[in-house]
Amino acid sequence: DTEVTQTPKHLVMGMTNKKSLKCEQHMGHRAMYWYKQKAKKPPELMFVYSYEKLSINESVPSRFSPECPNSSLLNLHLHALQPEDSALYLCASSQRWGAPVSTDTQYFGPGTRLTVL
C-alpha cells in the first residue's frame, strides 16, 4: 500500500479564518513533507518532518504552522491567509529523509485545493 490520504479535498476560507489540513500515511514512513503547488507549476517544498521533528522550513510565513502529532499524521494549521496562498497543498511521505545515501521515494497524496477569499 503506497497511499497517502489528505483531508479535506477542497477548502474555501476567508482571510480571518483558522483551518487545518490533515495528512495520513500508514506505510511506516518516518519522513513527511508539505508542498505547495500553484497551477501549472511544480511542487515547492514547504516543510520536512523527520521522525516527528521539523527538519526543514523553507522560509514559509508563520501563517502556516505545521504539526506532526505522531509518525502517521501530519497537519498544516492555517491562520490569516492571503488570497495568494490559494493553491494545491500536497503531502508526501518517504521512508527516511536526509540520510547520506538515500534511496527513498516520496509518495504523494491527492492534495487539498485551498481557496482563500
Partner 1 sequence: AQSVSQHNHHVILSEAASLELGCNYSYGGTVNLFWYVQYPGQHLQLLLKYFSGDPLVKGIKGFEAEFIKSKFSFNLRKPSVQWSDTAEYFCAVNAPGNDMRFGAGTRLTVKP
**What does the per-residue mask of binding to partner 1 show for 42-81, with x meaning CB under 8 A?**
xx-x--x-------x-------------------------
Backbone dihedral angles phi then psi of residue 96, each to the nearest 5 degrees: -145, 175
- Min dist CB 45 to partner 1, Å, is 5
Partnered with residue 115 across adjacent β-strands are 12
Based on the shown chain and the rule CB under 8 A, indicate whether residue 99 belongs to the binding site for partner 1: yes
Based on the shown chain and the rule CB under 8 A, indicate whether residue 105 belongs to the binding site for partner 1: yes
CB under 8 A: which stretch of 13-21, 41-49, 63-71, 77-85 binds partner 1?
41-49
Place of cell 519522513: 31
Which positions from 16 through 35 interact with partner 1, judged by CB under 8 A?
none
Whether the CB-CB separation of 46 and 36 falls below 8 Å is answered with yes
